[in-house]
Chains A and B, each alone.
Chain A
Amino acid sequence: SYELTQPPSVSVSPGQTASITCSGDKLGDKYACWYQQKSGQSPVVVIYQDKKRPSGIPERFSGSNSGNTATLTISGTQAMDEADYYCQAWDSSTVVFGGGTKLTVL
């Protein structure tokens, strides 16, 4: 079965750029999306179709996907961005999530 791998944690200082990676075999041949989940809340999509932002998602969120790695980038990270982030892809009629990355803003 298809697998997506994320680093368990990433730390960033306020105002700096945070990058969260998601690795999978030939992931660049699929479409990746990213969800943000704050403590006690349901997930929210922040990037879909590799790099598109839903309405209401700040421009500081961006995405890319090439080769075996998709990347979520948060520019000018704010304290409110502290959350768990999950990548997701679709493979053979099944949905696959990465293990999640806890973003700490300190």
Chain B
Amino acid sequence: EVQLVESGGGLIQPGGSLRLSCAASGFTVSSNYMSWVRQAPGKGLEWVSVIYSGGSTYYADSVKGRFTISRDNSKNTLYLQMNSLRAEDTAVYYCARGVVVVPAAIFYFDYWGQGTLVTVSS
């Protein structure tokens, strides 16, 4: 059974740093396209970052230069290092597994975690 379990959220002051973790089971993180998606309170879904199976990484403009996505193959875990946090980064952060068919540009998320809440406030 595929499971994604996020952790690491909490209350952090503006300018601070936080690292989110997403522990996966039932599949291999390094063989898949893995993403972080966030949702501010009462707002819609916002894609944050993706790491391809080959290791390439991409970011939304809103977090580029501040957030870093990575994975630990030995722990089968996905991470999101968040630096220089701002109030507008307050959101529930979900990790999600992507299903990709590259030549046809098919990309969708078939499994999502339950999310972890990050609150940036003084």
Residues of B within 8 A of A86 (CB): 44-45
- A interface majority secondary structure: strand
In the complex, the answer to whether A95 meets B47 with C-beta atoms within 8 Å is: yes
How many A-B pairs have beta carbons closer than 8 Å: the answer is 64
Q: Closest residue to A43 on the B side, CB-wise?
A: B112
In the complex, the answer to whether B50 meets A95 with C-beta atoms within 8 Å is: yes
Which B10-57 residues sit within 8 Å CB-CB of chain A?
Answer: 35, 37, 44-47, 50, 56
- Kindly supply a per-residue 1/0 record for chain B positions 66-100, scoring 1 wherever the CB is within 8 Å of any chain A CB and 0 otherwise: 00000000000000000000000000001000110
In the complex, the answer to whether A100 meets B108 with C-beta atoms within 8 Å is: no
Counting chain A CB atoms within 10 Å of each CB, which of B44, B58, B60 scores highest? Answer: B44
Which residues on A are within 8 Å of B, measured CB to CB?
Answer: 1, 30-31, 33, 35, 37, 42-45, 48-49, 54, 84, 86, 88-90, 93-100
Which residues on B are within 8 Å of A, measured CB to CB?
Answer: 35, 37, 44-47, 50, 56, 58, 60-61, 94, 98-99, 104-110, 112-115
